[in-house]
């Protein structure tokens, strides 16, 4: 039984223990995030391998989450619109301050070295805890810049009015933690230990950290020629080489990445397994409402995202050199095969709830009312984009059981390491290596190679063109995996989102007939899934919503503010520049 999926470890007494870990601290005071500093695990907790592993499982649970539903709303993937006031110093949007979880990790790292548990059992636990602490600090740093580094469990007698460490000091700490973790971990966990942090995940994550450190987000004065890019290249090349040596790589079928588990592409997986741990994908919130329960609207692709997919030969839609013609009226035809793997459009086959031959409709009268573009639900106008996603969805689940989805979340997968390596290679004068990565990604996707062997990519790209090609490719490859917004942000490209209006694709007629003059037979055919996508007429329409129409992404969003509550409770915490303070979050 996987200790990272189940807390009980086949021992009922540990169920109680593990539940107690969830509640033994609250939110509010160590760095304004721990309510009771006197709380501490019971004596003997770390004297036994089973209870220590249960404690560790709780740390995994509080650190690594599931699929980031609706993160595409922040960017140009899905339909939500973040207008004026999305982020303020007072609200909780884009704030990350997990010192409660860090204190729990610090307790383990303080107590476990003195445990009688044998070193060969103890050291890997310490290594995993150090990785988790680095993971939390890294997220705080790319949210806020430098934060206070706390390495011991603070007590009520300690000085809690700590200052922020510099961003450089935080990166040094994170990288030290990862190096120390790797020294204590085995190269690769699998089998019953699948999902545990190992050297493979540590090296891959170190590459991610160094990519951010080199990025324009932290180096606005010298975004692409700073010395950190060499560190990022070396780390990501080393990670790729290590992964290749230990059997990792791209799967042959893109769809199988998200529909199978325990495969060679997932480096660090968050394990979901029905009935013990489910709904990491939050499928009930992503499905069309007609085949869901309690929620819908998540991860609805916008038209700009649909247009971003190339044709099957890798050329952009409408490119006169493409062997495929493109028309909005047949926008789904001859596209990059990932389009079919990710997108669901009006009339497309989408066999939810195991309904054989089921087609998804979005046109008024033909579709079930709750799936219609712009349909008003309970008085509010909930946006519909005319598109849904099938990525990570377990289509056979009945609607009443949509929350039982147990697809694993790939926190780190091999394709990300390739993209990180490609970015760093390009910025260090190795664009030929970057090109090989893009070709490998497109080959796996099913894009045709072409006579020139470039899979539709431009020959002899400049450094800037290659940079953009990498970002464009990653946008598609990692659709709805929570990467797009952060990629634009670390490249200081939020101006591409600022002022953006979002659009969907609306079916306006079927065989020339509008909703006003459709016959009962037309409607019956729709309900019987006989109408095909090409039977409809389409129009690009701005999303219908009662909320804001325009995205707002000011320069200040490159570093988010620390929540005012924490600032008010700790006079030594400086606020970021751009948010009323003087702290410089860059390197």
What is the domain partition of the chain in residue ranges? 1-185+558-587, 193-204+215-271+408-482, 283-398+503-542
Q: 193-204+215-271+408-482: same fold as 1-185+558-587?
A: yes
Predicted confidence at residue 29, as pLDDT, reads: 34
Give the distance between the most distant pair of CA atoms in the chain: 79
Give the whole-angstrom CA distance, residue 101 versus residue 107.
10
How far is residue 554's CA from residue 535's CA, in Å, rounded to a whole number? 43
pTM to 2 decimal places:
0.94
Task: Please give the pLDDT value at position 155.
Answer: 77
- Helices of type H across 392-445: 414-427, 431-445
Residuewise pLDDT in 10s, the chain (587 residues): 343 433 333 332 233 333 333 322 333 333 444 445 557 898 999 999 999 999 999 999 999 999 999 999 999 999 999 999 999 999 999 999 999 999 999 999 999 999 999 999 999 999 999 999 999 999 999 999 999 999 999 876 667 799 999 999 999 999 999 999 999 999 999 999 999 999 999 999 999 999 999 999 999 999 999 999 999 999 999 999 999 999 999 999 999 999 999 999 999 999 999 999 999 999 999 999 899 987 778 999 999 999 999 999 999 999 999 999 999 999 999 999 999 999 999 999 999 999 999 999 999 899 988 888 876 554 445 688 999 999 999 999 999 999 999 999 999 999 999 999 999 999 999 999 999 999 999 999 999 999 999 999 999 999 999 999 999 999 999 999 999 999 999 999 999 999 999 999 999 999 999 999 999 998 888 889 999 999 999 999 999 887 899 999 999 999 999 999 999 999 999 999 999 999 999 99
Q: For residues 563 and 545, what is the distance between their CA atoms, to the nearest angstrom?
A: 29
| Predicted pLDDT of residue 15 | 32
- CA distances (Å), origin 392, targets 84, 131, 402, 478: 32, 27, 12, 12
Which pLDDT belongs to residue 530?
A: 95
Per DSSP, the three-state class of 180 is helix
User: 3-state DSSP call for residue 419?
Assistant: helix
φ, ψ for residue 574 (rounded to 5)?
-90, 145
Residue 498 to residues 81, 144, 396, Cα–Cα distance (Å): 11, 20, 39
Paired strand residues for 506: 539
**CB–CB of 253/236 below 8 Å?**
no
pLDDT at 545: 82
159/180 Cα distance (integer angstroms): 28
| Pair 183, 131: CB distance under 8 Å | no
For the purposes of burial, counting CB atoms within 10 Å of the CB of 130, is it exposed (0-12), middle (13-18) or buried (19 or more)? buried
Alpha-carbon Rg for the chain in angstroms: 25
Beta bridge partners of 576: 583
How many angstroms separate the CA atoms of 445 and 123, rounded?
40
pLDDT (0 to 100) of residue 384:
87
Return d(Cα 3, Cα 192) in angstroms, integer: 8
Please tell me the distance from the alpha carbon of residue 470 to that of residue 430, in angstroms, as a whole number. Answer: 13
| Of 162, 146, 135, 167, residue with least CA distance to 31 | 162
Residue 169 CA: distances (Å) to CA of 99, 225, 233, 426, 434 = 18, 21, 21, 27, 30
Measured CA to CA, the distance from residue 178 to residue 201 in angstroms comes to 10
Q: What share of the chain is helix, strand, coil (3-state, %, to 5)?
A: 40, 10, 50
In the block, residue with structure tokens 């020294």: 183
- pLDDT for 295 equals 75
66 near 298, Cβ under 8 Å? no
- The Cα-based distances of 397 to 185, 287, 350, 394 in angstroms read 38, 11, 12, 6
The pLDDT of residue 158 is 67
The pLDDT value recorded for residue 527 is 82
Element (H, E) at 344: strand 343-345
Distances in whole angstroms, Cα of residue 386 to Cα of each of 293, 362, 382, 503: 19, 6, 12, 9
CATH 1.25.40.390 fits 1-185+558-587, yes or no: yes
Q: What's the pLDDT at 296?
A: 74
DSSP 32: G
CATH topology assigned to domain 193-204+215-271+408-482: 1.25.40
């Amino acid at each position: 039984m996987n200790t990272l999926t189940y807390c009980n470890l086949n021992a009922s007494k540990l169920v109680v223990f593990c539940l107690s870990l969830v509640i033994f601290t609250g939110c509010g005071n160590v760095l304004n995030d721990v309510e009771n500093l006197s709380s501490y695990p019971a004596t003997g907790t770390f004297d036994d391998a089973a209870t220590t592993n249960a404690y560790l499982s709780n740390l995994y649970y509080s650190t690594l989450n599931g699929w980031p539903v609706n993160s595409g709303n922040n960017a140009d993937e899905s339909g939500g619109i973040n207008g004026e006031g999305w982020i303020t110093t007072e609200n909780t949007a884009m704030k990350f301050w997990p010192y409660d979880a860090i204190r729990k990790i610090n307790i383990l790292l303080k107590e476990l070295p003195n445990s009688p548990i044998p070193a060969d059992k103890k050291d890997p636990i310490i290594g995993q805890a150090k990785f988790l602490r680095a993971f939390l600090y890294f997220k705080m740093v790319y949210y806020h810049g430098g934060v206070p580094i706390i390495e011991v469990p603070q007590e009520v007698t300690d000085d809690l009015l700590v200052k922020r460490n510099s961003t450089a000091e935080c990166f040094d700490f994170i990288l030290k933690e990862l190096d120390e973790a790797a020294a204590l971990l085995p190269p690769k966990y699998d089998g019953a230990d699948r999902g545990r942090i190992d050297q493979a995940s540590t090296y891959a994550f170190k590459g991610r950290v160094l990519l951010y450190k080199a990025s324009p987000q932290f180096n606005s004065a010298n975004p692409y020629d700073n010395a950190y890019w060499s560190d990022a290249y070396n780390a990501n090349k080393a990670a790729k080489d290590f992964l290749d040596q230990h059997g990792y790589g791209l799967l042959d079928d893109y769809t199988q990445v998200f529909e199978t588990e325990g495969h060679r592409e997932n480096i660090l997986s968050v394990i979901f397994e029905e009935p013990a741990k489910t709904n990491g994908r939050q499928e009930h919130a992503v499905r069309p409402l007609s085949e869901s329960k309690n929620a819908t609207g998540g991860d609805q692709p916008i038209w700009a995202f649909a247009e971003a997919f190339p044709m099957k030969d890798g050329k952009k839609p409408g490119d006169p050199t493409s062997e495929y013609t493109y028309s909005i009226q047949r926008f789904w035809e001859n596209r990059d095969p990932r389009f079919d793997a990710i997108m669901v459009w009006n009339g497309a086959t989408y066999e939810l709830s195991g309904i054989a031959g089921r087609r998804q409709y979005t046109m008024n009268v033909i579709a079930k009312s709750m799936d219609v573009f712009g349909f008003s639900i309970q008085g509010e106008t909930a946006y519909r984009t005319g598109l849904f996603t099938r990525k990570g969805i377990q289509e056979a689940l009945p609607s009443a059981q949509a929350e039982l989805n147990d697809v694993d979340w790939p926190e780190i997968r091999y394709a990300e390491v390739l993209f990180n390596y490609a970015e760093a290679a390009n910025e260090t004068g190795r664009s030929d290596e970057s090109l090989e990565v893009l070709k490998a990604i497109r080959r796996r996707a099913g894009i045709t190679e072409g006579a020139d062997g470039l899979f539709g990519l431009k020959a002899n790209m400049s450094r800037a063109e290659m940079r953009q090609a990498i970002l464009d490719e990653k946008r598609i490859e990692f659709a709805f995996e929570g990467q797009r917004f952060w990629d634009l942000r670390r490249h200081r490209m939020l101006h591409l989102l600022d002022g953006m209006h979002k659009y969907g694709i609306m079916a306006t007629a079927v065989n020339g007939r509008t909703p006003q003059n459709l016959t009962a037979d037309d409607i019956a055919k729709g309900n019987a899934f006989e109408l095909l996508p090409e039977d409809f007429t389409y129009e690009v329409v701005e999303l219908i919503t009662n909320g804001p129409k325009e995205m707002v992404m000011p320069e200040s969003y490159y570093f988010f503010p620390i929540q005012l509550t924490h600032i008010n409770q700790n006079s030594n915490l400086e606020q970021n520049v751009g948010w009323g303070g003087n702290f410089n979050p860059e390197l």
